[in-house]
């Protein structure tokens, strides 16, 4: 007799599974291969590099690697030809047990950029496991009085293969007493038994020997056998009978020891000892079941005595015997199927498979930073895991394949705002209450040179006195770069240009690291009053970024030029002036005029004239205008005066210290007829005071307008400098307002509001601007002061 082990429904399901595994779905980004178990080392599986669209030359540079969680090195890739091959023995039963589906999941990871591919290699079953019975021989004791069609359960064989290879058929050796019971269609019940077809007679046949053969559906077929030794017993009329032949019980996992599973009840129609029943597990029950459960021999209660874990086994089959206490004991049998219910008792597991850190701040959106694997040993909803990420961060989690997530960039990064992120990934299952696990990762943002050095202001004004020593430090520029490391390393340089006929670098230099600006040579106010140039700041990034700042260096005048006498209008000897003066001239007659200029400017170019006293203290009838240089008589000449006078005129500026020059004027007194006409013509300007007064008024208006314009310009310049520039540094000192001079001619002063710092030197700094307030007591003095104003304002420099 032969019976098939399995059902048409299972066959259809296996066929559908094979069709699905043979189909390649291009949209899901996953490769499928198949390989038979027990394949030899080096067996070709697939051209994985070609199928993934990767070039062979880029496998090594991009760190091509294959990972298989818990699968060891069963499969390997040849990096020379991109072929996936069998590396070590593959035993499907060892990998997947009785599972209908068995595949090796590979993670193919390449860097630069980071990419992850998923590859499933189906392990095809071969018929390499024969059917195996629990024992090689089974002893049965059957009373001769048992009625026909009595059933005697047997433990069927098991086959470690799956599908057709595990589809078992049974064949009983030919005999006249027993036939095989048809196996149940219930997948959880592996029932198999003998059916009594002919009454037993102990006296005729006390022992019966049978052979039960199990054959699988593989090609070639494999078989397993068990010998059945049936001992025919005499006496006992009635065997114990259970209420049902099959019991099904649901039991939650993790229940404590001593938990009642079920209470069985069997009855025996006999009386006395023949009706007393003892409950026990069948000898065919596996040791694993016996370690988990215990049956009370008197009450028939089955209780838990070991750890029940759904992940270890989802069901248990227990064969229970009820044996009476008769001299010839009879037994009844039943099956108890314990289905284990899953509880949410496993916390999700999180694992970072690959990290690509740090991430550049200019990385494009969607850049993969990490690959995260999540898993949960529970089943159903309890094993359904979802992941979440710390809120308010520029990253997100993207589900890629089954329980895999990619940590990708979701919004733009700025290292100058946030240089690192502490991310917490939370994996939570769908149980009630749910369990969760967390994993932290620190994502550092790598700097990109996206910030140019910046100065505090776009322009600086510096005041430096002329004649500074070579190499004098006049200013320090400083720029700040918001980037990091070499991208924030700032160096300074001059923006070269021509200053007149010379290069800028011949005047100043800047230290590349400190930003200190030095004057390479003494500066001359008379040659260069304003030196304007730019300093460039560049960082060390690639490509470098930079910015410029403008420096305006005003060279302040020093009193380094003595007054210079102009050539006299009349001929002289050795630079002296010879003048012939008639004896008849009156007081105030202009005899001569000493002319001098000063190459300096401002206060240092303001000249005054003094007449040196005669030798021996002799009084002379002449004087010199303090600011005009005009020599005139102080009284009417008389015969007591010497006919020749040698006048020494000291020309002095107002610098500190003052510089001087001396002019010699030789005056000869002659009769009126001997005086040259040229001298008379030279003095004709003083004869008409009315005309001179008109000229004085015109010049005075011009002078007042010029002074007013200078004052307004000074105030505007002062206001602009106060608002724009901080105090300069280094060897510089603040300026102070100083009153210069007050005389009978007028008051000269420089503006009290100047730039607050100039290059360091002896004494307080002075301005180049002067204001003149005239005082005109009479027409003669007004004429003198007018000429003084004309000459002095010609030397004023702003």
Average pLDDT over the chain, rounded to whole?
A: 80
Provide the pLDDT confidence category of residue 249 given band limits of 50, 70 and 90: very high
pLDDT value for 730:
37
Beta strands in 63-174 (DSSP E): 65-67, 75-78, 83-86, 103-110, 115-124, 137-143, 151-155, 169-172
Distances (CA, A) of 222 to 35, 160, 248, 339, 438: 22, 12, 33, 31, 50
SS3 119: strand
Q: Which two tokens stand for residue 411?
A: 């919004």
Query: Strand 660-670 and strand 577-582: pairing?
Result: parallel
DSSP state letters, 402-446? TTEEEEEE-S---TTT-SEEEEEEEEEESSSS--EEEEEEEEEEE
Q: Work out the average pLDDT over 232-259.
A: 88
Closest by Cα among 751, 746, 740 to 714 = 751
- Grade residue 740 by pLDDT with cuts at 50, 70 and 90: very low
Task: Report whether 66 contacts 50 (CB < 8 A).
Answer: no
pLDDT digits 0-9 by tens, 541-583:
999 999 999 999 999 988 888 999 887 654 454 457 888 888 8
pLDDT in tens, 160-200: 888 888 888 899 999 999 998 866 666 555 568 899 999 88
Q: Give the lowest-confidence range in 82-86, 540-544, 680-684.
A: 680-684
Q: Note the pLDDT tens digit of each residue in 613-668.
A: 876 667 888 999 999 999 999 988 888 888 888 889 999 999 888 999 998 889 88
- CA atoms 560, 561, 562, 563: torsion sign: negative
- pLDDT score, position 520: 92
Distance in angstroms (rounded) separating the CA atoms of residues 256 and 308: 9
Strands 479-480 and 454-455: antiparallel
pLDDT tens digit string along 98-138?
Answer: 777 888 888 888 888 888 888 888 888 888 889 999 899 99
Of 80-84, 425-429, 532-536, 760-764, the one with minimum mean pLDDT is 760-764
More confident residue, 748 or 31: 31
For residue 12, the SS3 value is helix
Give the residue, 473 or 758, on which the prediction is more confident. Answer: 473
Residue 746 pLDDT > 70, yes or no?
no
Q: Are 38 and 91 in contact (CB under 8 A)?
A: yes
Q: What is the DSSP string of 289-339?
A: HHHHEEE-TTT-EEEE-S---TTT-SEEEEEEEEEE-SSS--EEEEEEEEE
Tell me the pTM: 0.54
Q: What is the pLDDT of residue 501?
A: 86
Distance between CA atoms of residues 48 and 30, nearest Å: 11
Percentage of the chain exceeding pLDDT 70: 80
Q: Which two tokens stand for residue 207?
A: 């022992």
Task: Say whether pLDDT at 24 is over 60.
Answer: no
User: Mean pLDDT, to the nearest integer, of 414-434?
Assistant: 91
pLDDT recorded at residue 37: 87
The pLDDT score that the predictor gives to residue 789 is 41
What is the Cα–Cα distance from 193 to 214, expressed in whole angstroms? 13
pLDDT at res. 458: 93
Q: Read off the pLDDT of residues 325-364 as tens digits, 9 standing for 90 and up.
A: 888 788 899 999 999 998 888 899 988 888 888 999 899 9
pLDDT given for residue 747 in this prediction: 33
Closest by Cα among 594, 626, 652 to 789 = 626
Query: CB neighbours (10 Å) of residue 733?
Result: 15
């Amino acid at each position: 007799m032969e019976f098939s082990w399995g059902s048409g429904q299972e066959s259809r399901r296996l066929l559908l599974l094979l069709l699905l595994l043979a189909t390649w779905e291009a949209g899901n980004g996953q490769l499928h291969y198949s390989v038979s178990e027990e394949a030899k080392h080096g067996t070709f599986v697939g051209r994985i590099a070609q199928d993934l669209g990767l070039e062979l030359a880029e496998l090594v540079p991009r760190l091509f690697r294959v990972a298989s969680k818990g699968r060891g090195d069963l499969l390997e890739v040849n990096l020379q030809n991109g072929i996936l091959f069998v590396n070590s023995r593959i035993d499907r039963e060892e990998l997947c047990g009785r599972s209908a589906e068995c595949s090796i999941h590979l993670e193919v990871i390449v860097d630069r950029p980071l990419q992850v591919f998923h590859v499933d290699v189906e392990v095809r079953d071969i018929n390499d496991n024969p059917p195996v019975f629990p024992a090689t021989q089974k002893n049965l004791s059957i009373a001769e009085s048992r009625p026909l069609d009595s059933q005697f359960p047997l433990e069927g064989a098991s086959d470690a293969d799956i599908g057709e290879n595990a589809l078992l058929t049974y064949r009983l050796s030919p005999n006249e007493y027993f036939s095989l019971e048809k196996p149940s269609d219930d997948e959880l019940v592996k029932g198999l038994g003998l059916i009594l077809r002919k009454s037993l007679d102990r006296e005729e046949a006390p022992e019966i020997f049978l052979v039960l053969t199990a054959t699988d559906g593989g090609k070639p077929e494999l078989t397993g056998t068990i010998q059945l030794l049936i001992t025919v017993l005499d006496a006992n009329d009635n065997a114990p009978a259970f209420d049902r032949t099959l019991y099904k019980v649901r039991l939650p996992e993790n229940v404590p020891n001593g938990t009642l599973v079920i209470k069985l009840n069997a009855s025996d129609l006999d009386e006395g000892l023949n009706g007393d029943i003892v409950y026990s597990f069948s000898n065919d029950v596996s040791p694993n079941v016996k370690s988990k459960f215990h049956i009370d021999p008197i009450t028939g209660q089955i209780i838990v005595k070991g750890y029940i874990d759904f992940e270890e086994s989802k069901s248990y089959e227990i064969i229970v015997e009820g044996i009476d206490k008769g001299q010839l004991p009879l037994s009844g049998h039943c099956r108890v199927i314990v289905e284990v219910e899953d509880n949410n008792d496993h916390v999700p597991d999180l694992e970072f498979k690959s990290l690509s850190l740090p991430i550049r701040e200019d990385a494009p959106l969607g850049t993969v930073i990490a690959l995260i694997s999540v898993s949960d040993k529970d089943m159903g909803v309890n094993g359904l895991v979802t992941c979440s990420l710390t809120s308010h961060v520029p990253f997100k989690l993207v589900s890629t394949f089954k329980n895999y997530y990619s940590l990708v960039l979701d919004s733009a990064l700025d290292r100058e705002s946030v240089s690192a992120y502490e991310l917490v990934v939370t994996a939570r299952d769908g149980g009630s209450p749910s369990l969760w696990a967390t994993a932290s990762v620190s994502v550092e943002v790598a700097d990109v040179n996206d910030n140019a050095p910046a100065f505090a202001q776009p322009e600086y004004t510096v005041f430096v006195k002329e004649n500074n020593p070579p190499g004098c430090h006049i200013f320090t520029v400083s720029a700040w770069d918001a980037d990091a490391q070499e991208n924030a390393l700032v160096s300074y340089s001059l923006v070269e240009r021509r200053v007149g006929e010379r290069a800028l670098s011949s005047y100043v230099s800047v230290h590349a690291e400190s930003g200190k600006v030095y004057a390479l040579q003494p500066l001359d106010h008379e040659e260069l009053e304003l030196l304007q140039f730019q300093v460039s700041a560049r960082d060390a990034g690639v490509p470098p970024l930079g910015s410029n700042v403008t420096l305006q260096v005003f060279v302040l005048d020093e009193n380094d030029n003595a007054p210079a006498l102009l050539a006299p209008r009349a001929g002289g000897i050795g630079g002296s002036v010879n003048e012939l003066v008639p004896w008849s001239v009156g007081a105030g007659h202009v005899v001569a005029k000493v002319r001098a200029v000063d190459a300096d400017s401002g206060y240092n170019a303001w000249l005054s004239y003094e007449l040196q006293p005669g030798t021996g203290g002799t009084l002379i009838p002449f004087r010199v205008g303090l600011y005009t240089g005009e020599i005139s008589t102080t009284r009417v000449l008389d015969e007591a005066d010497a006919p020749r006078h040698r006048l020494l005129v000291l020309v002095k500026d107002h610098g500190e210290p003052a510089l001087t020059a001396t002019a010699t004027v030789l005056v000869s007194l002659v009769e009126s007829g001997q005086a040259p006409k040229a001298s008379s013509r030279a003095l004709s300007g003083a004869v008409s005071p009315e005309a001179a007064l008109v000229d004085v008024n015109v010049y005075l208006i011009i002078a007042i307008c010029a002074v007013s314009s200078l004052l307004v310009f000074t105030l505007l310049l002062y206001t602009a400098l106060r608002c724009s520039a901080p105090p300069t540094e280094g060897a510089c000192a603040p300026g102070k307002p100083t009153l210069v001079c007050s005389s009978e001619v007028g008051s000269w002063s420089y503006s009290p509001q100047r730039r607050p710092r100039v290059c360091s030197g002896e004494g307080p700094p002075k301005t180049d601007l002067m204001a003149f307030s005239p005082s005109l007591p009479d027409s003669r003095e007004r004429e003198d002061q007018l000429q003084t104003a004309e000459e002095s304002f010609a030397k004023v420099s702003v």
